[in-house]
Amino acid sequence: MNERVAIVGLGWVGFRPVTPERSYKELMYEAALRAYADAGVNPRRDVETFVTVAEDFHEGTSIFDEYVPDQLGAALKPVHTIGGDGLHGLAAAYMLVRTGQFDLVVVEGHSKVSNLLTLPEVTAYAQDPVLNRPLRLNTHFVAGLEMNRYLHETGTTREQCASVVVKNRYNALSNPSASYGAELTLEEVLAGPPLAWPLGRREAAEQADGAIVMVLASEDRARHLTDRPVWILGVGWCNDSPSLENRDWAQAIYAREAGRMAYRQAGIGNPRDQIDFAEVDDVYAYKELQALEALGFCRPGEAGELTEAGVTAPDGDLPINVSGGSLGVGHVLDATGLARALEVALQLRGEAGPRQLEDVEVGLAQSWRDVPTTSGAVVILGN
Amino acid sequence: MSMRKVAVVGAGMTKFVRRAQETAKELSWQAAHMALESCEMTMDDIEAVCLGTAPDSFDGIHMNGEYLSDGAGAWRKPFMRSYVGGGTGVFVPIQGWYHVASGLFDVVLVVAEEKMSSYYPHAQAAFLTIFDHTTERPLKPNLLWIFALEMNRYMSTYGIRKEDIALVSVQHKRNAADHPCALLGDPNITVEDVLNSETLAWPVQRYDVSPVSDGAVALVLAAEHVTKRVTDKPVWIEGVGWNLDTAHWTNRDLAYPRYVEYAARQAYEMAGIKEPRKEIHIAEPYDPFDYKALHHLEGLQLADRGQAAQLYVDGVAARDGDMPVCPSGGLLGVGNPIAAAGLMKIAELFWQLRGEAGERQVPGQPKRGLAQAWGDLMQVGTVVIMGR
Amino acid sequence: MTANIKEFPGTPLSEQDFAEGNILFNYDELRGHFAWDTGIAIGRYLAALKEGIILGARCTTCRKIVVPPRIVCEWCFRPMHEYIPLQDTGTVNTFSLCYVTWDVKRIEEPEIPAVIEIDGASPLHGIMHMLGEVDPPKVHIGMRVQAVWKPAEEREGAVTDILYFRPLQEV
């Protein structure tokens, strides 16, 4: 077995609202080229197995796995798709290295959402076909239901949720890869049109195109390849109930359980003390607050106060979504978790440019698979 | 390097039927429940769930893995869905293997499900969207085309006759007559029946093809220390391999599945197998079409190129032959609920190697078996070798 | 264990169960609409088709000429910059006579899909297209064929700008 696994290569393109000059294959190729150059590896010679994350209906292709290998340098090699978030893919790649059968594994995630003209229709197809879909509701309603219950149980306010938008979109101004940087006031966020009350239109992330490739290596191989490996200290993932009829509407149980699994591996008993910064799910603004509480960074109902007090700002005690998060970078569908992990890895390497945090050693990335799911994953990285 | 050993300790499956009354979630749960009962476990013993299911378009559900998760037993558990098209059924146990071999889990539930009948009016139409959206789909291609094109190329390259290929269908459907879950078992089918069946896409005829079906299969996988506690008849996963060829399928040799060869070599190496024809006692190659079983036996190095049909002619492939092929009845006989059909082959090896296959039992106390699946755009091979 | 089990789960239904209303169901149709960016390589391929040209690309490392073009050689992982016009003739690598449509409707006159190795591309490098103007029993592997194009003014930059391939009249 390979006990320790490191990320030794990072490559990405995007993240932009449209990318008409490139096909999805060409986006993946560009990200892969950059990752291989960064790791100093040749995919044809060195990489032993590849994992991609994709959902057929996002791609408009059944069995999307077919179209993965060529542009990653993976033809006639072991390749498989995980129908999950990028962090699920990262976890799969991590497990493959740990088996001891593989020393160099690649994980890829991408979004070409600009080519999907009817995203709400497709998302509605994730609802239960008999019990929920016939009601013909835009799937944002699930977030509205959840946010309402979350506010009710924790005493969190709409203003506190809106302050997440203000922070993350402002953070994105320091991220050249982000598309939705903005300097907004709390009032401007709250003055937006309602989406699914209490959720407002400006509290939901806009989509973006892009691709992310990461190269993972066993400890021996990592030490040969780089002097700045980013170690995977723990991974966790979990599903709560997919049913709208019997799930916990206030808490993100899946995030709590995924966090606990990752903490056990990483030996983390007190996340607030032991983790320096985090990139968490903020596809809807309230999700960031809910995630911070589920992950044990604070007690239920406290995350909003911490945000208002600036604790989660880049210069605060616990910086959250310094990249801009999905609200600021853009929501890249199945690649979302990899986008969060990408920022954590860049920060740990000291390569985050104008938004670089000082003295960071351990970071956490967390993702959620969007409405209507209760599926999420966590990875803890360290240098 | 020391590897963590992984065993299959329990298995369950539903009947494979043309159209099931049960929903996809219910089928998944029935198979999972049966697998757990077979090794006297409950969901409390299960640490993670691995799911295999093929295109979402069959079910008409986006992120179908998420939808099926509670049916597969994944409530408040780590849950992941893997996906390599038609190869998924033999990939999902590989996914289970790496979950356990990684050291993160000791007991994992592996579920494969397919509910093809949801697609209306016919599941085949869902396959239009497996073709490239820009360079192929405008021609309105049909799934049968790619099989027919490959079969024709295979036949003409090696000079193989239709009547020899038909023997595969006959043997598998006859074997399936002994499988309690089979959809198309027929003890009396003949080569003439196959050759006289309706022509769909020449050279493919009706009885060359496995049927669209609904069904589910589940396994329980365990680490060595757990295995020793729960069973005295473990069946170990000795080797795994998978391989994906280029998507440009019109740019390669259709007569020979190189990706199956590469997957098999990966699995043989891991299992320490040097002479597969002697060391593999039962083969369950993927047989959605009869010629595919032959194609795959060659890729698996279990027959020379163009010579696999001879195994059937000579009786080597028969249930009491030297190397029984698809004693289960295969997809041609038991049915083809895509991902479930692949995992059915793993379940068959589990039962055969434990001597529990009843009417289908291969004589001579076989020690080692191989199962293989295939998929994507004639492109992926997935291989698992199991032994006791 | 299958030996010990009397009854396996799973309940088969028949058409009659639906006809008689014993089984309820919910019908729905996905409105999934896509506009796929063709990108660099396929974009050029389609633009060439509009001009009546089948475009390939050459890998300067392994020297393969492939069709359709792509920006990276999947075997060398080297960029492919050289675009090469190929002939609109070729050889049938394999074919089928298909009596059902993509949505499984029975037809009397078969559709004839084929993989056609395009002249000018490396051996075994072809595209999938249809054959026409040919008596189905006369089609054979190795048959020489030529593209039949839509009139120039009707071409739109799509694979359907080639109507089909017909047997080549060798001069």
CA gap B154, B160 in Å, rounded: 8
Nearest residue to C86 (alpha-carbon basis) of C45, C114, C40, C124: C45
Report pLDDT for C3.
Answer: 65
Output the average pLDDT for chain A: 97
Mean pLDDT, range B1-14, rounded to an integer: 91
pLDDT tens string A172-193: 999 999 999 999 999 999 999 9
List all residues 6 or more positions away from C153 whose beta carbon is below 8 Å from its beta carbon: none
List all residues 6 or more positions away from A254 whose beta carbon is below 8 Å from its beta carbon: A238, A239, A240, A368, A374, A375, A376, B76
pLDDT tens string B91-108: 999 999 999 999 999 999
CB contact under 8 A, A118 and C35: no
Q: How many CB pairs under 8 A join A and C?
A: 80
Instruction: Chain B: give the shortest CA distance to residue A311, in Å.
Output: 31
- φ and ψ at residue B179, rounded to 5 degrees: -100, 120
CA gap C21, C29 in Å, rounded: 21
% of chain B surpassing 70 pLDDT: 99
Strand-pairing partners, residue A5, are: A218
Which residues constitute the domain of residue B364?
Answer: 6-120+211-387
pLDDT at C109 over 90: yes
Q: What type of residue is A161?
A: C
% of chain A surpassing 70 pLDDT: 100
* DSSP SS3 for C162: strand
Residue B253: closest C-alpha in chain C: C124
CA gap A231, A285 in Å, rounded: 29
pLDDT at A151 over 60: yes
pLDDT tens string B62-94: 999 999 999 999 999 999 999 999 999 999 999
Q: Which one of A13, A24, A26, A76 would you mutate to disrupt binding with C, by most C Cβ within 10 Å of its Cβ?
A: A26
- CA A98, A104, A105, A108 dihedral sign is positive
Mean pLDDT, range A302-317, rounded to an integer: 98
- CA B20, B26, B32, B37 dihedral sign is negative
CB contact under 8 A, C33 and A24: no
Rounded to a whole number, what is the distance in angstroms from the first to the last CA of chain C?
Answer: 69
pLDDT at B254 over 70: yes
Nearest residue to B79 (alpha-carbon basis) of B71, B89, B87: B71
Measured between beta carbons, the chain B residues lying within 8 angstroms of A47 are none
CA gap A263, A372 in Å, rounded: 26
pLDDT-derived band of residue C7, with 50, 70 and 90 as boundaries?
Answer: confident
Report pLDDT for C27.
Answer: 87
Mean pLDDT, range A123-141, rounded to an integer: 96
- CA A243, A246, A247, A250 dihedral sign is positive
Is the Cβ of A241 closer than 8 Å to some Cβ of chain B? yes
Report pLDDT for C2.
Answer: 60
Mean pLDDT, range B312-333, rounded to an integer: 98
Mean pLDDT, range A26-54, rounded to an integer: 98
Nearest residue to C30 (alpha-carbon basis) of A117, B87, A285: A117
HEC per residue, C55-91:
EEEECCCCCCEECCCCCECCCCCCECCEEEEECCEEE
DSSP letters, B319-383, are TTSSS-B-TT-HHHHH-B-HHHHHHHHHHHHHHHHTT--GGGPPSS---EEEEEEEETTTTEEEE
Measured between beta carbons, the chain B residues lying within 8 angstroms of C12 are 15, 17-21
Residue C146 lies in a domain: yes
* A 340-369 residues inside an 8 A Cβ radius of B: 369
pLDDT at B1 over 60: no
pLDDT tens string B234-247: 999 999 999 999 99
- The tally of domains found in chain B comes to 1
Report pLDDT for C170.
Answer: 63
Measured between beta carbons, the chain C residues lying within 8 angstroms of B134 are 36, 38, 42, 46, 158-159
Residue B379 lies in a domain: yes
- The tally of domains found in chain C comes to 1
pLDDT-derived band of residue B127, with 50, 70 and 90 as boundaries?
Answer: confident
Is the Cβ of B376 closer than 8 Å to some Cβ of chain A? yes
Residue B169 lies in a domain: no
Any idea what the Cα angle at residue C137 is, between residues C134 and C140, rounded to 5°? 80
With beta carbons less than 8 A apart as the criterion, state whether B250 and B135 touch: no
Residue B136 lies in a domain: no
CA gap A257, A377 in Å, rounded: 9
CB contact under 8 A, B248 and C159: no
Task: Give, for A225, the enclosing helix (H) or strand (E).
Answer: helix A219-225
Residue B337 lies in a domain: yes
Residue B278 lies in a domain: yes
| DSSP β-ladder status, A104-111 and A49-53 | parallel
Report pLDDT for A379.
Answer: 98
pLDDT at A240 over 70: yes
Supply the CATH classification number for the domain A5-117+207-225: 3.40.47.10
Report pLDDT for A130.
Answer: 93
Measured between beta carbons, the chain A residues lying within 8 angstroms of B57 are 56-57, 62
- CA A94, A100, A104, A106 dihedral sign is negative
Residue B356 lies in a domain: yes
* B 332-351 residues inside an 8 A Cβ radius of C: 351
Report pLDDT for A5.
Answer: 98
Residue B166 lies in a domain: no
Residue B92 lies in a domain: yes
With beta carbons less than 8 A apart as the criterion, state whether A382 and A276 touch: no
pLDDT at B208 over 60: yes
Q: How far is CA B111 from CA A298, B36, B141, B182, C43, in A?
A: 37, 11, 31, 19, 41
CA gap A29, A10 in Å, rounded: 13
Which residues constitute the domain of residue C87?
Answer: 41-167
Rounded to a whole number, what is the distance in angstroms from the first to the last CA of chain A?
Answer: 21
Is B129 or B227 the better-scoring residue by pLDDT? B227
* DSSP SS3 for A114: helix
CB contact under 8 A, A92 and B98: yes
* B 126-145 residues inside an 8 A Cβ radius of C: 127-128, 133-136, 138-142, 144-145
Measured between beta carbons, the chain A residues lying within 8 angstroms of C72 are 29, 70-71, 73
Report pLDDT for C1.
Answer: 53
Task: Give, for A341, the enclosing helix (H) or strand (E).
Answer: helix A336-349
Report pLDDT for C21.
Answer: 87
